[in-house]
Structure 1
């Protein structure tokens, strides 16, 4: 099966001649995989995620996602590709406080130009699946951390992305709520969603990913299968 993500010889330096944030990384991720990326602070985890999302461009090497070389796209084209094909979840939710839950979730669909009726149907489906339909007209500030992360997950999924990127998605949550979000991510992967999860939590990686990539000093130190039953 063809890879959904392919990084070949990817290096990223933020300063000319400086220490690379990621260094000659080769990585293949198949459709339907759930991959956890781990490593100490400064090891290159977030940079790797940003390269896959097209938020950063490699200094050298190639980045291909869903058959598209994204490192060669213009800024406009890569932004369009990201909206259509990639969903992103962040540690601190990144919701817009002046928009309701519904409007936060619908925003990527609006930016992509999806028909309103289709987007609303998808909104209803996601709010029900994530058990936050009662908060449809609420504003993020009135929600708990776990509820806000559910809204962020709905927003990431509204365009049915080929790839879901999650950067410390449980880092701002208490242990019990983090476990609930982890279970949601596991259910998504079981339904076929390809996912890359950056985490400091080895328990989360072991339970909710089928594979763990360990980064040290910007390089892949290990790439191993884990015990998650997906």
Structure 2
């Protein structure tokens, strides 16, 4: 069996390290294997963002271990965490996080520049991604001139620039209209069909159904369901998750 891309073991994390109040995550164990497309669903305060931040190396558990592609993320220092994010993961955010004073191409090139990729190689990779994602005609445009769906495609291209084993998407359609959201959902499904491992953190069941095949449901910091995306619709709807 293949080595997991993500492996969490007995992860416990309190908000801001406080010993008071309910924890953000309670003894969570989770394995994601290469090529999976997994949705993490749950209402606000369920622990979704904390889980994402731990996998991204932006936070550390109070107890337990976080391993991504063989790297013990919870044991990394600040500099090593930055290197890890550049090489091991791509991140897509709800509000794109593009730099408005840079062209589309320059936004996509940023991760390669930070990683020290040769200029020619980086340029070819950026051009390839823009063409594959259908936004090459906007290569020299600035993000402010693009639609929301187009900007999210640029963000996906940037996230994939360094060929990361893992793509993390945090509410990737949350700031988009319905048509643009469906477009981005199809894009994520296509990327997964090509073998990209994806974890989508969202409260939107429709997004999960359209681009993932496995759903992790969090409630009060615990995993309360781990099953095929199609199987969770009834229980999710009955309990009124947002």
Which category describes the TM-score, using the shorter chain as reference length? Answer: over 0.9
- d(CA) in 1 for partners of 2:8, 2:17: 21
- d(CA) in 2 for partners of 1:179, 1:186: 11
Map of 1:76 onto structure 2: 79
- d(CA) in 2 for partners of 1:144, 1:205: 23
- Conservation of the 8 A alpha-carbon contact between 2:13 and 2:25: yes
Map of 2:19 onto structure 1: 17
Map of 2:172 onto structure 1: 169
1:221 to 216, 220, 224: 224
Compute the displacement of 1:201 (Å): 1.2
1:157 to 143, 157, 160: 160
- d(CA) in 1 for partners of 2:229, 2:134: 29
The CA RMSD measured in Å over matched residues stands at: 1.1
- d(CA) in 1 for partners of 2:112, 2:182: 28
1:198 to 186, 201, 207: 201
- Conservation of the 8 A alpha-carbon contact between 1:207 and 1:227: no
Secondary structure of 2:109's match? helix
Map of 2:130 onto structure 1: 127
- Conservation of the 8 A alpha-carbon contact between 1:88 and 1:156: yes
Compute the displacement of 1:16 (Å): 2.2
With normalisation by structure 2, the TM-score equals: 0.92
- Conservation of the 8 A alpha-carbon contact between 1:150 and 1:181: yes
- Larger displacement relative to structure 2 (17-26 or 29-38): 17-26
Map of 2:92 onto structure 1: 89
1:208 to 182, 204, 211: 211
- Conservation of the 8 A alpha-carbon contact between 1:44 and 1:216: yes
Q: What are the Cα deviations for residues 4-29 of structure 1, in whole angstroms up to 9, with x where unaligned?
A: 10000111112421321111100000
- d(CA) in 2 for partners of 1:2, 1:88: 22
- d(CA) in 2 for partners of 1:158, 1:204: 24
Q: What are the Cα deviations for residues 111-135 of structure 1, in whole angstroms up to 9, with x where unaligned?
A: 0001111111111111001111111
Structure 2: which 5+ runs fail to align? 232-242
